[in-house]
A and B are shown apart, each in its own frame.
Chain A
Amino acid sequence: DIVLTQSPATLSVTPGESVSLSCRASQGISTSIHWYQQKSNESPRLLIKFASQSISGIPSRFSGSGSGTDFTLSINRVESEDFSVYYCQQSYSLPRTFGAGTKLELK
């Protein structure tokens, strides 16, 4: 199985800061990575598909980059509604796997 390692586990920031969340794959997966946001007591929401492709309705402050084994989700100028947990998921091979998540919290 492909292991996705997300770092850091927790990121403490103040609104207005820009942040980068990392997802590293245990083997090369091209751009077959997708990012989700999950707020407390809500379902996950798709933010970015195939490493860098935007999703309709998602604010433009969210962007993704990377290929191979290293991927980044960037949030430009964090807003209060962005404090939640972020997951990456790979679709390169079966079984599909998720990272353990990065919690973005208010400093």
Chain B
Amino acid sequence: EVQLQESGPGLVKPSQSLSLTCSVTGYSITSNYWGWIRKFPGNKMEWMGYISYSGSTSYNPSLKSRISITRDTSKNQFFLQLNSVTTEDTATYYCARYDYGSFFDYWGQGVMVTVSS
């Protein structure tokens, strides 16, 4: 069974970087696509970006140059880094398998990240 689990700090200071890890079991990240999605307070959902089986990436333009998604295939993990965070980046962050770039069929449990001084 495909399982994903996010990990990382729950509190980040403004202007710092947010870094999260998604650990995947039951499926190799060298197959398919893998994405990050966040849900803001108030329920708005935002697709942040993905990394593909080959390591190519695509990001939401709304995040401009602040975002980076990378991976460690030896550990079957992929990562999210979001730079220069503000309070508007406070959200629950999910990693998910992104079935060939269409829909998200397996999700992590989510990690709530608060940006506050």
Binding between chains A and B: yes
Chain A positions within 8 Å of B, measured between CB atoms, are: 32, 34, 36, 43-46, 49-50, 55, 85, 87, 89, 91, 94-98, 100-101
Chain B positions within 8 Å of A, measured between CB atoms, are: 43-47, 58, 60-62, 94, 99, 101-105, 107-110
The A-B contact count (CB < 8 A) is: 49
Besides A44-B94, A46-B104, 15 more A-B contacts (Cβ < 8 Å) are: A32-B102, A34-B103, A34-B104, A43-B109, A44-B104, A45-B107, A49-B105, A85-B43, A91-B101, A94-B58, A95-B47, A95-B60, A95-B62, A97-B47, A101-B43
Q: Which of B43, B47, B102, B108 has a CB less than 8 Å from the CB of A100? A: B43
Whole-angstrom distance from the CB of A26 to the nearest CB of chain B?
16
User: Could you say which residues of chain A place their CB within 8 Å of the CB of B47?
Assistant: 89, 95-98
CB atoms of A43 and B101 under 8 A apart: no
User: Could you say which residues of chain B place their CB within 8 Å of the CB of A87?
Assistant: 45
CA distance A100 to B94 in the complex (A): 17
User: Could you say which residues of chain A place their CB within 8 Å of the CB of B94?
Assistant: 43-44
CA distance A36 to B61 in the complex (A): 24
Whole-angstrom distance from the CB of B107 to the nearest CB of chain A?
4
CA distance A43 to B61 in the complex (A): 25
User: Could you say which residues of chain B place their CB within 8 Å of the CB of A43?
Assistant: 94, 107-110
Q: Which of B46, B102, B105, B108 has a CB less than 8 Å from the CB of A98? A: B46
CA distance A100 to B60 in the complex (A): 17
CA distance A50 to B107 in the complex (A): 18
CA distance A89 to B105 in the complex (A): 12
Closest B residue, CB atoms, query A94: B58
Given A43-B109, A95-B60, A95-B62, do A49 and B102 touch, yes or no (CB 8 Å)? yes
The 5 lowest CB-CB distance pairs between A and B, nearest first, are A98-B45, A43-B107, A34-B103, A96-B47, A91-B102
CB atoms of A46 and B58 under 8 A apart: no
